[in-house]
Structure 1
Amino acid sequence: MRKRKRAFNTDHDEHFDESWLIPYADLLTLLLALFIVLYAASTVDKVKYQSIMESFQSELTGTKIESVHAGLSPTPSSPQPEVGLPEEETNDKELDVLKQQLESYINTNNLQDMVSLEDTEKGIEVSLKDVILFDSGRADLKEHSFQTLNGLVGLINTVPNPISIEGHTDNVPAHNTIYTSNWELSAARAASVLHYFDSQKVQASRMQFSGFGEYQPLYPNDTDENRQSNRRVTVVILRGS
């Protein structure tokens, strides 16, 4: 009897079904994305967290979930307050308005020859010649200077900025006065303006004064006109609050 040859089917090797790897890879990708989002959003609020979870549930189950919070940036139920300008920018705008008001005040009252205005890096500087405020060699305010100072007070109080009051003299020695030097005279004049502002309800904690004597002149002290311009009290509305 002829032996039957054992048959081998070489054309049909046994294969495993690997179709499950595709959804498995998708699942891993979704889970990785979930953890990345949760890690990045360290301060996710409750509404956004719910939106994230609903989105991933929809992807994993293939079911569309209707939600008023769909997406990562749901429309807020109430209007959000407008983002304000940075404090520094807001204060600069206030100083710009103040400068315009001071210019108008000076022009309206014909004070151009006695009061000057300058916008500097330090702040808004209002310089008053000494003749509008004081008698020669004195530091007590003239009574008729009150009206001018009152107008400044009303405008200065529209902003919260600190105020520096600075006294200046010419280079003529302070002889025949109660002050031993131009430093004392300039400081006393600045202090007089400070005390008057304080009496008119300018907040005391905002103010400071200093006396520079003859050492910060606007012009060379070589003419009477220049010396008169150098004798001044400058009210500086400083930048920042």
Structure 2
Amino acid sequence: MSSGGGGRRKKGGHEEHEEHVNHERWLVSYADMLTLLFVLFVVLFSMSSVDQKKFAELAAGLSEGFGASSAAFQGNVSNLDGAGQATNVVPIDPGVNPGSGGSGTAGMTKEQKEAVERAVQAASRAQASKDAQAATKEAEDLKKLENKIADQLEKNKLLGQVKFTIDRRGLVVTIVTNEVVFAGNRADLQAGGKKILDAIAPALVKLPNNIEVDGNTNQLKATTTFYPSGWELSAARASTTVRYLIDHGLAKGRMTAVGNSDTKPLIDPKDPRAVTMNRRVDVVVLTTLNPEQAALLPAAAGDDAKLHSGQTSEQAKTAAEAAEKAETGKTSTTTESTTTTTHD
């Protein structure tokens, strides 16, 4: 029979209430998490100590607490003696204790240490070979880009106004400003400078590489008329070049303008040509290699790592054919010499 309580029922003379939802069950999971964190910190603290005996005791205790079959501790602690002390303990961490300054081979036999050393050397050689291959491929791609730029410059009779080099940054396209690109003490592009950039821009538009434009002044201590110093003048010339390239299709996010004043001369300031050669703008196609691979770029580029005139695609093809012919002739001569020696 129902009572007026609605949510209550009588059974056997006792009142029963509706079961309430326990909103504090999360505390159980939270407590479990804190316990696990505490165990983790204890383990980390123990690993910071060089005392292997204490570490083994901790491992044995944790193994017992979490179950003897725990994979984290199996095979690391052997039998305990009657006093509960670990015997014949195998160190759990075979690596280097961060605070001990050890080499990671402590406790190894001579043969084991030699095996580790050979493995490390083999891995280093493999990585070095991989880096060299990447640098060689990048140098080849940068040379092809140079050929494309040179083709356009040659088409417009401007190839003599530009020099090239490959360094660890990538392909450097050097535009000697003189009075062709910028007037003295000014950062406004002249008609000649626009023609050069018009020839360079199409080859750069579709590249994935970022582009850095460096403005450089020569070493003369002449007073700058429109700028406080060579720093502002070189930065203004770099910025003007960047804006022009952006207006001709290059993405703004790929561009960087840098002003070097006279701190990065192209040639020795004592050289008579330095007055004109060091007054320049460098358009740098930045490499996508990592620093270790990029450091190998100059060696991979060979003679192209030095300042040189641009080589067109046709010139590159002719040079490659000549080199291949010379190599074939050299091989034939060597084979003939070997055959003659055998007959003798």
Return the TM-score normalized by structure 2.
Answer: 0.42
Aligned partner of 2:232 in structure 1 is 184
Say whether 1:206 aligns with 2:279: no
Partner SS, residue 273 of structure 2: helix
Say whether 1:217 aligns with 2:275: no
Say whether 1:173 aligns with 2:241: no
| 1:121–1:87 distance in 2 versus 1, CA, 3 Å | closer
Identity value in percent? 28
1:93, 1:221 → 2: CA distance?
32
| 1:123-164 CA-partner distances (Å, limit 9, x unpaired) | 111010112210011001113322221111101113110000
Say whether 1:102 aligns with 2:165: no
Aligned partner of 2:212 in structure 1 is 164
1:116, 1:140 → 2: CA distance?
21
| 1:220–1:91 distance in 2 versus 1, CA, 3 Å | closer
Determine if contact 2:212/2:256 at 8 Å carries over to the other structure: yes
| 1:11-45 CA-partner distances (Å, limit 9, x unpaired) | xxxxxxxxxxxxxxxxxxxxxxxxxxxxxxxxxxx
Determine if contact 1:162/1:237 at 8 Å carries over to the other structure: yes
2:159, 2:199 → 1: CA distance?
15
2:280, 2:134 → 1: CA distance?
32
Q: CA RMSD in A?
A: 2.4
| 1:96–1:218 distance in 2 versus 1, CA, 3 Å | closer
| 1:118–1:150 distance in 2 versus 1, CA, 3 Å | same
Question: Which residue among 219, 229, 235 is the counterpart of 2:277?
Answer: 229
Residue identity in the other structure for 1:147: K
| 1:178–1:99 distance in 2 versus 1, CA, 3 Å | same
Deviation for aligned residue 1:165: 0.2
| 1:119–1:87 distance in 2 versus 1, CA, 3 Å | closer
Summarize the alignment of residues 23-62 of structure 1 with structure 2, pairs less than 5 Å apart: none
Say whether 1:130 aligns with 2:191: no
1:151, 1:106 → 2: CA distance?
6
Deviation for aligned residue 1:180: 1.2
Aligned partner of 1:141 in structure 2 is 189
Deviation for aligned residue 1:187: 0.6
1:177, 1:237 → 2: CA distance?
32
| 1:167–1:176 distance in 2 versus 1, CA, 3 Å | closer
Structure 2: runs of 5+ lacking an equivalent: 1-132, 290-344
Residue identity in the other structure for 1:216: K
Determine if contact 1:166/1:209 at 8 Å carries over to the other structure: yes
Partner SS, residue 148 of structure 2: helix
Matched residues, number: 156
Deviation for aligned residue 1:200: 1.1
Aligned partner of 1:154 in structure 2 is 202
Determine if contact 2:153/2:199 at 8 Å carries over to the other structure: no
Partner SS, residue 182 of structure 2: coil
1:184, 1:174 → 2: CA distance?
14
Identify the structure with the greater helix proportion: 2
1:223, 1:177 → 2: CA distance?
25
Determine if contact 1:133/1:145 at 8 Å carries over to the other structure: yes
